[in-house]
Structure 1
Amino acid sequence: MGFLKQNILAVIGIFTLVLGIGYFVKYAIDKNWIGEAARATIGFFIGSAIIITGHFLRKNYATFSSIILGGGIAILYFTTTIAFREYHLFAQNTAFIITCCITLLSIILSYRYNSEVLVIFSLFGGFLAPLMISSGQSNYLFLFTYISVLNIGMFIITFLKQWKSVGGIAFFFTHLYLLYWIVEKPEILSIYFYLINYVIFYAFALLNYIKKNILFAFDTILLVLVNFFSTLSLIYLFNKLGYEPVIIFPLIFAAINGCLVFREYNKKSFNSTYSIFTGITVSLLTIAVALQFKTHLITSIWAIEATLLLFIWKKTNLSIFKVFFYILFPLVLLAQIITWAQYFDAKDLNVIINPIFLTSLVTIITILFNLALLKRLQGNNTSGNSFFENAFKILNYSVIYFAILFELIYQISEQPFAIILVSGFLLSLFYISILLLLGRKLEINRQIENGLIYFFFCLTIIHVTFCASELIHDIVLKKTSWSFYGIYLLYLIPFIYVYYYKVINTPDFLKIKISYWLGAFTLVTVVSCELYHLYLLGNSVNHTNLPALQKHFSILYLPIIWAILSIIFIYTGLKRENNELSRIGFTLIGIVIVKLYAYDVWQMDNISRIIAFILLGVILLLSSFMFQRLKNIIKNLVDKKDETDKNENSEF
């Protein structure tokens, strides 16, 4: 970037000059001033003249000279391409020899003038030359022999001059060509060239390690890319060609990296370099294990590589690895979603031991490592509790949840809808309660914890209303056995835990008034619905008498249940001197009265009406007594406060 800022005019100038010459040649061609051979000759002459000019300027204007030389080399490349493709002045082999000579010339000049700019021009020209002289027929053996030789030459230049950019550019173009090859025409020959170039670029990445016993950020990135891109591509090739075992390449690459781990261990050097080699080795071994269990390739490798990047970030504290991690992690999520989508078409998958869930398991394991690593990173960074980090945690816990949920739903997909529904909600309630139980260890902050409690209550309400309604209907129709109602009731375990430990005994949660009302509403719903379910199951003969039972319970028993609960709320509010609970109790009493006079009495028979009025009367009297007691307690408290204030003032 600094180079462009300082030399932007020179770059634009040489680009403009090349365009100007091109337009002049085009104009001459349009006017039929020159023939095809003459056009090519002019191009070669102008390119050579610019190179000679750059040569004479090199002493006093080194950078400017490099740009001029690069422009001249570009003209030679384009002239050769046009002479071959448009004018057919020479054969493909001749054109290729000319482009190789141009590349060799540019490499010699860049080395002679010690110019990294010029070697970059040479590199681009060298990799684009095959495209320039392509005739449309694929000769991959010839192409990759040339590219491998070019890479070896670039490695020698880099070894002598320490030009880091060369390795990155060469890696990009080489693997772009290789990727096109294996997609268009996968064959055994491409495996050999992958291995040759793995060795070349592995050596590129280790240049500083060999010379200075250190790995810089660029070296580490190249090391990670070489290992994982080669692994991914070779496994893809083996799968396409039907070869076995596919785990051979991650094991070979793990062994190569393991040798460096062993070397560092023998030196008793447990620095960041040791950690990087160890992380890569362990990641490759993990990929081998994942592949052995037939997990999905892309998802597993991306998940493991993302964790490796996070691990390297932790060990080196270089922010570039954090950036790469946050770029790759969304791709991991996308790949995982695509993997889950395969449940729709999958048939006869084993429980847990199947490719889809095992892939999810690999992702879950890497996620747990991610959370552990981020926890350690946040220990040294006060910004760890930011919104972004919290959102990242929520995403991770969501992936774990959906991985388990989708596997559960698939395995019970043949069961009635009510069983699937109840099972899914039970899993959700237990999962949230486990997160709340481990909240301190997982460093879930108060805001997220409150949000989880609210969400838990909402799911509980749906579970005891909609899910239970479906289940009761199936039990009455004999589609589902009575025993599954006992499984449905397991939700009471997490509900009691959350309600007692996270609501009643958590003052922070109850600082917000809405918390009292949501908690009370959930409790009233749970108690009412469960008594309602027991009443239906205990009295229903078949589905035909269900409407009558539902109506009878709603009119006679529901007001009594709500009235009793209102007394409990009022009493608890008085005992704890909590006005909010008392308000909830009186509100519930009000709902009962309105419901009774507005609807229930007009639907009852005489006996039920007498019983309802008597019970409601007793309840209202008790509520009135409690209210009067509440007023007296408040009055006494106020009188005591006034008396205390008066004594303090008199003493003063």
Structure 2
Amino acid sequence: MNTNQEKIAILSEKMNALIKKHQVFTKEIIQLRDELKELKSAVQKEPKSTHTTQSIRTTPAKTETPPKKQIQQQPATPHTIRKTPRVKKKSNLEKFIGENLISKIGILITIIGVGIGAKYSIENNLINPITRIILGYLAGAGLLFFGIKLKKKYKNYSAVLVSGAIAVLYFITYAAYDLYQLFPQILAFILMLIFTAFAVITAIQYNKQLIAHIGLVGAYAVPFLLSDGSGKVEILFSYMAIVNIGILIISFKKYWKPLYYVSFGFTWLIYLSWHISEFSVEKNFSIALIFALLFFVIFYTTFLGYKLLQKEVYKNRDAILPFLNSFIFYGVGYAILVDHPTGKHLLGLFTLGNAVLHFIPGVIIHRLKLGNKSLLYFVLGLVLVFITIAIPVQLDGNWVTLLWITEAALLFWIGRTKQISFYEILSYILMLIGFFSLLHDWGNFYGHYSLHAPEKKITPILNSCFLTAIICMAGYGFISFLDQYKNDTSPLKKGSLIPKIASFLIPAILIIICYNSFLLEINAYWDQLYQDSHIHKGDLYKTNETLILFKNIWSILYSLIFISLLSLLNTYIIKNKYLSIVNTLFNGLCIFLFLTIGLYTISELRESYLNKEISEYYTISYFTILIRYIALVILGGAIYALYKQTQHLISEFNIGFLRPLTELFIHFVIIWVASSELIHWLDMSSAEQSYKLGLSILWGIYSLFLITLGIWKKKKHLRIGAIVLFGITLIKLFLYDISHLGTIAKTIVFVSLGILLLIISFLYNKYKHIISEENED
């Protein structure tokens, strides 16, 4: 049903446009017909030229092709004849000036002339005040009389005269009241109110906005012209409300949007100026709130009246004034209530009341099937906006975030499935607001309890902030799923950047929330244990620093687990190219952080286990050693995930250069971990000085392994990597090891590395044909 109404509205607009075009074409046809008659009469009166006739008769008999110049010159005579009568045609500009502009300038000059004459008579006391006022009213009445008399034949000209007459009557009344004190205030007020009503009625009768605008400007000028400085603002606002109701009546009769815009601007400008300069909670609380509500309702009803009675199709630009009207009223009302001792506790209720003010017309439009769906969605959108604002006004903490995310998911679902662009845009705004609200909740919750209130404990996982984050994950996950599977059904215009940016931003926010939710729980758990480990007795102050080390290593291990699972999920299920690239980079970064910071932290735990300095105060368990192998298993999973992710990129998107880079990176990780493991066991066996010798031999053996593997698998990058590693080993040997090793150790390392070099050289010579074939390929 609503679809048919929309079609009817669109077809009506098209029909009106065609009627206007038809009228224009009719005028042009009449003008062309008159011009044709004049041309025919001109041709009949003109004597025929012998030369022209002869030229016309002889031209077809010629066998030669006439020169191009002659062909171009032959139509010159009729063309010249056709141009002659065009001088007589009256142009549109001439018509506008003669019939429209001159009359307006004339009435303006007449009013100025009357004013100059009146000023001269006043300055020279030629006419007494009563006579001046009487003459002024007679002049206005004369203009009005002639204007009404000429209406039948000269409507536009008559409208100008009537407009001038109304302006004269306004200011003559003002002069009688203010300059000469001939009228009391109440009489002047009644007269100007009559003139305003007359202007409104006349504007409707003439169907001219000009008269209505003059009456409107005069109406708003009345209270200021007749003000006695008493400060009775209720009289001013009552008068403005009456004027605006008149505008509302006109809006139901005529489709005059500029009148609505001007009255909207005048009303709120006057009200806000008073509110800023003179408003007092003690004196004006009720008056300010009542009239703000009244003005809001009048303009909101006027807006709906335009759309419903005129059956105008709602467009996005139409939202500007209703939005301004709603938020000016809400802002003014909030400012009035916030300073009131009781009102400040009703701000949430006031915000919900604004939602109800929009909900009622929405229900009426829906039940009576008025207007099109776009208007209904806009009105309901305002309801949702004020419900959204009411959430932080009335509630606090995690409830705000939960309701915002839930509302964002609901609006996105409605906007995407029902093709309502306004709702989808609103959902994007709420997504960002909800995300920043969650960040704020995290800062308040974890930062407050772990640092500022250590005596208050956080129950791991089973706490309000973590449960809020889980619901947020579900909300953003639903939005991301819907965006992926209904990506082509966005109601926003094709080519718009908003859906494209959102398709990257929503999954990014989801990943950030998932990652941080568990990371914050891990950090909070270890922070609480650290806070509980404080020992402060007299001069003794101790803390268990191994707990901070555990916190750091578990944060790194969690990052490895998270990014590995995300990589595998994307490899086998999601298969998103951009996510694959981001995962690969972050996976490599997390592995590098483990190799640098993680292995160092694990070595610090080993030192705390071996040192035994704090063992008399705290129990140092064997887990400080076992954590190393748990970490290595997790590292192995991360390497596997990285390998699978890069294989997916290579096969699906033909990114071939990743293969050698990945293999070299994996071997780099293996030699780093093997070196760390060697140092670990040498340290555990109290043979710290032997690690220099052991590292050199280990690197040399691994170089031999890489060259063997490179020859076997025909992988040049592995052989080059092995040569680089062996070169680093030799540099270490000559620049570092020699100065720190004893004679026996030097002998062992030199002999070992020499033998390894000989084996490597033998392999290159034995399998040189395989290497050369590979290079040729």
1:416-474 CA-to-partner distances (Å, cap 9, x unmatched) read 88788777767776776676566599989634642453244335434542476568658
For 2:647, the aligned partner's letter is I
The residue number in structure 2 matching 1:645 is none
Q: Given the superposition, is the C-alpha separation of residues 269 and 197 from structure 1 closer, same or farther in structure 2, using an over 3 Å criterion?
A: closer
How far, CA to CA, are the matches of 2:754 and 2:472 in structure 1?
A: 63
The residue number in structure 2 matching 1:257 is 359
The residue number in structure 2 matching 1:162 is 255
2:245 to 140, 152, 168: 152
Secondary structure at the aligned position of 2:248 is classed as helix
After TM superposition, the structure 1 = structure 2 runs for residues 359-438 of structure 1, keeping only pairs within 5 Å, are: 365=475, 369=479, 372=482, 376=486, 378-379=488-489, 390-397=500-507, 399=509, 412=524
2:581 is the alignment partner of 1:450: yes
How far, CA to CA, are the matches of 2:136 and 2:723 in structure 1?
A: 96
1:502 deviates by: 1.2
After TM superposition, the structure 1 = structure 2 runs for residues 22-421 of structure 1, keeping only pairs within 5 Å, are: 107-116=200-209, 141-142=234-235, 144-164=237-257, 187=285, 190-193=288-291, 195-207=293-305, 210-211=308-309, 216-217=314-315, 241-244=343-346, 246-247=348-349, 249-250=351-352, 253=355, 257=359, 260=362, 264=366, 293-294=395-396, 321=422, 325=425, 348=448, 365=475, 369=479, 372=482, 376=486, 378-379=488-489, 390-397=500-507, 399=509, 412=524
Q: TM-score, normalised by structure 2?
A: 0.54
The residue number in structure 2 matching 1:506 is 649
Q: Given the superposition, is the C-alpha separation of residues 207 and 270 from structure 1 closer, same or farther in structure 2, using an over 3 Å criterion?
A: closer
How far, CA to CA, are the matches of 1:297 and 1:83 in structure 2?
A: 64
Secondary structure at the aligned position of 2:486 is classed as helix
How far, CA to CA, are the matches of 1:296 and 1:181 in structure 2?
A: 39
The residue number in structure 2 matching 1:604 is 741
How far, CA to CA, are the matches of 2:160 and 2:469 in structure 1?
A: 50
1:226-253 CA-to-partner distances (Å, cap 9, x unmatched) read 6677667766766663324725643773
The residue number in structure 2 matching 1:465 is 596
**180-189 vs 60-69, which moves further:** 60-69
For 2:638, the aligned partner's letter is F
Percentage of identical aligned residues = 22
Q: Given the superposition, is the C-alpha separation of residues 382 and 329 from structure 1 closer, same or farther in structure 2, using an over 3 Å criterion?
A: closer
Secondary structure at the aligned position of 2:741 is classed as coil
- What residue ranges of structure 1 are gaps of 5+ in the alignment? 1-5, 642-652
The answer on whether the counterparts of 1:50 and 1:69 sit within 8 Å (CA) in structure 2 is yes
The answer on whether the counterparts of 1:111 and 1:157 sit within 8 Å (CA) in structure 2 is yes
How far, CA to CA, are the matches of 1:530 and 1:608 in structure 2?
A: 23
How far, CA to CA, are the matches of 2:164 and 2:752 in structure 1?
A: 99
1:138-158 CA-to-partner distances (Å, cap 9, x unmatched) read 866555544544443333222
The residue number in structure 2 matching 1:647 is none
After TM superposition, the structure 1 = structure 2 runs for residues 516-595 of structure 1, keeping only pairs within 5 Å, are: 519=662, 523=666, 526-527=669-670, 555-556=692-693, 579-580=716-717, 583-595=720-732
The answer on whether the counterparts of 1:77 and 1:125 sit within 8 Å (CA) in structure 2 is yes
Q: Given the superposition, is the C-alpha separation of residues 291 and 114 from structure 1 closer, same or farther in structure 2, using an over 3 Å criterion?
A: same
1:603 deviates by: 3.6
The residue number in structure 2 matching 1:495 is 638
The answer on whether the counterparts of 1:206 and 1:215 sit within 8 Å (CA) in structure 2 is no
The residue number in structure 2 matching 1:644 is none
1:499 deviates by: 0.1
1:89 deviates by: 12
How far, CA to CA, are the matches of 1:403 and 1:563 in structure 2?
A: 45
For 2:741, the aligned partner's letter is M
The answer on whether the counterparts of 2:409 and 2:478 sit within 8 Å (CA) in structure 1 is no
Q: Given the superposition, is the C-alpha separation of residues 519 and 158 from structure 1 closer, same or farther in structure 2, using an over 3 Å criterion?
A: farther
1:294 deviates by: 1.8
- What residue ranges of structure 2 are gaps of 5+ in the alignment? 1-92, 450-455, 531-547, 609-613
Q: Given the superposition, is the C-alpha separation of residues 469 and 317 from structure 1 closer, same or farther in structure 2, using an over 3 Å criterion?
A: same
The answer on whether the counterparts of 1:457 and 1:519 sit within 8 Å (CA) in structure 2 is no
Q: Given the superposition, is the C-alpha separation of residues 613 and 96 from structure 1 closer, same or farther in structure 2, using an over 3 Å criterion?
A: farther
How far, CA to CA, are the matches of 1:154 and 1:172 in structure 2?
A: 13
Secondary structure at the aligned position of 2:355 is classed as helix
The residue number in structure 1 matching 2:452 is none
Q: TM-score, normalised by structure 1?
A: 0.62
How far, CA to CA, are the matches of 1:259 and 1:624 in structure 2?
A: 90
Q: Given the superposition, is the C-alpha separation of residues 60 and 266 from structure 1 closer, same or farther in structure 2, using an over 3 Å criterion?
A: closer
**70-79 vs 232-241, which moves further:** 70-79
